[in-house]
Amino acid sequence: MSIYQIELGEEILRVEDLKVWFPVRKGLLDAILGKPKLYVKAVDGISFNMREREIFCLVGESGCGKTTTGKSLLRLVPITSGKALFKPRKETLEKLERLGVTPSDGGWVDIFTLPEKKFKPIRRDVQMIYQDPYGSLNPRFKIKDILEEPLLVHGIGGSKEERMELIMKTLERVKLTPASDFVDRYPHQLSGGQRQRVAIARAIISNPRLVVADEPVSMLDVSIRAEILEVLLNLRKELGMSYLFITHDLAIARYICDRIAVMYLGKIVELGDAREVIAEPLHPYTKALIAAIPDPDPKNRIGYRYLPIKGEVPNAINIPPGCRFHPRCVVYEEAVKKGTVLKDLCSRKEPPLADVGNGRKVACWLHEAVRKAAGVE
């Protein structure tokens, strides 16, 4: 259990079979020859849900689709198919109803199908923190202008004074104190950690329900990372928002997340309680990922690190058939050597992400629950 774990609220997000495929531009010759259209399948059918105050983590290597998933919730990438049912705050729902949107029972709206104009109220409820605090803040804006912009866009705070008051309060929330020292400064006058806190303040000033945090500490120095993580944790406690936390660092995921989903080539291969998944990974890919991470321990230099994985990540255009991990899987390799039935399954049929008990899900034919869910024996 995380030392920061708190009680979670109702369900607020249900992503169902999300696909984000980017078309690859064809050459003229390919077009004349009528070759089939190719896609980079960045996200290729993932489902998960999130609860209020939950920190849900997407982990995986670069190119696995974790950032694309996060961006899709803000509609920053074109969605190929799938649903993202979101439960906005009451005020947002009222606004949506005035715009002629009828939420389904329980107040759910599908983020992906709303027309752009009617999506704007949701933008207040779903915010994003980017990885790079040097690139995500406008260098020509003072801190107060950066923080005032979302207020003006969403019509929060009636007068200039009210808005300034909110800006000061938010700066204090992210521990940029005294706030009056910061409002008139420009981003270049701040350190990396301070900038990232401004980026956090900008995301939370509209009091969102869901914040997509894309690698929020990976560009920061080790000595200040913990401070930023603490700010994020305190904000969830005080304001009750949920984070979709995107990271490649499993140690950070273990430290602050409630649940994690491990992604590989656009699919979730394993999902469950963060501490349990890391202590006892079920999917061969998760096992390899954990085996590869150098935990700071001087004994590491004594032996070679054993890596239960082969080859390299394939191209997201030509995803291997069957289980997309099988060409790199050491368990599959073993099965081929021994000639067990498993080998036919892995190379031909894609395993579903099936429940194996205790809220744990895994997509690997090794597990009986997965075979049962797919109706194979």
Partner 1 sequence: MSYVLEINNLRTYFFTLRGVVRAVDGVSLKLRKGETLGIVGESGCGKSTLAWSMMKLVPPPGRIVSGSIKIDGIDITRMSESEIRRKIRWRKISMIFQGAMNALNPVYKVGEQIIEPLIIHGKMEKEKALSIAANLVKAVGLPEEILERYPHELSGGQKQRIVIAMAMAMEPDIIIADEPTTALDVVVQAQILNLMKKLHRERGISFILITHDLGVVTELSERIAVMYAGKIVEYASADEIFEKPLHPYTQALIRAVPRLKGDIHKLEYIPGTPPDLRRPPPGCRFYPRCPRRFEPCDKEEPPLQEVEKDHWVACWLHIRR
Could you list the residues that contact partner 1 (CB under 8 A)? 2-3, 61-62, 191, 193, 221-227, 229-230, 248, 250-252, 254-255, 275, 278, 288-301, 304-305, 307, 309, 312-313
Closest separation in Å from C-beta 88 to partner 1: 33
In the bound state with partner 1, the residue whose beta carbon lies nearer, of 113 and 300, is 300
Q: What's 48-72 look like in SS3? A: EEEECCCEEEEECCCCCCHHHHHHH
Place of tokens 């291997």: 320
Closest separation in Å from C-beta 255 to partner 1: 4
In the bound state with partner 1, the residue whose beta carbon lies nearer, of 4 and 83, is 4
In the bound state with partner 1, the residue whose beta carbon lies nearer, of 254 and 267, is 254
In the bound state with partner 1, the residue whose beta carbon lies nearer, of 73 and 250, is 250
Closest separation in Å from C-beta 299 to partner 1: 8
In the bound state with partner 1, the residue whose beta carbon lies nearer, of 104 and 300, is 300
What is the token pair recorded at 143?
């801190």
Closest separation in Å from C-beta 256 to partner 1: 8
- At 213 the three-state DSSP class reads strand
Closest separation in Å from C-beta 312 to partner 1: 5
The secondary structure of 334-358 as a DSSP string is HHHHHT-THHHHHHHSPPP-EE-ST
d(CA 120, CA 124): 7
Q: Which is it for strands 11-23 and 267-273: parallel, antiparallel or unpaired?
A: unpaired
Closest separation in Å from C-beta 301 to partner 1: 6
In the bound state with partner 1, the residue whose beta carbon lies nearer, of 93 and 268, is 268
In the bound state with partner 1, the residue whose beta carbon lies nearer, of 113 and 134, is 134
d(CA 69, CA 48): 11
In the bound state with partner 1, the residue whose beta carbon lies nearer, of 61 and 355, is 61
Question: What end-to-end distance do the CA atoms of the chain give, in Å?
Answer: 36
Residues 6 or more apart in contact with residue 235 via CB below 8 angstroms: 173, 174, 200, 204, 241
In the bound state with partner 1, the residue whose beta carbon lies nearer, of 116 and 297, is 297
Residue type, 58: L
From the list 21, 17, 50, 53, the residue with the least C-alpha distance to 37 is 21
Closest separation in Å from C-beta 41 to partner 1: 19
Given a contact cutoff of 8 angstroms between Cβ atoms, the answer to whether 248 and 60 are in contact is yes
Q: Which is it for strands 39-51 and 11-23: parallel, antiparallel or unpaired?
A: antiparallel
H-run or E-run covering 278: helix 274-279
Closest separation in Å from C-beta 1 to partner 1: 8
d(CA 9, CA 268): 24
Closest separation in Å from C-beta 2 to partner 1: 6
d(CA 145, CA 136): 14
* Angle formed by the axes of helices 222-239 and 192-204, nearest 10°: 20
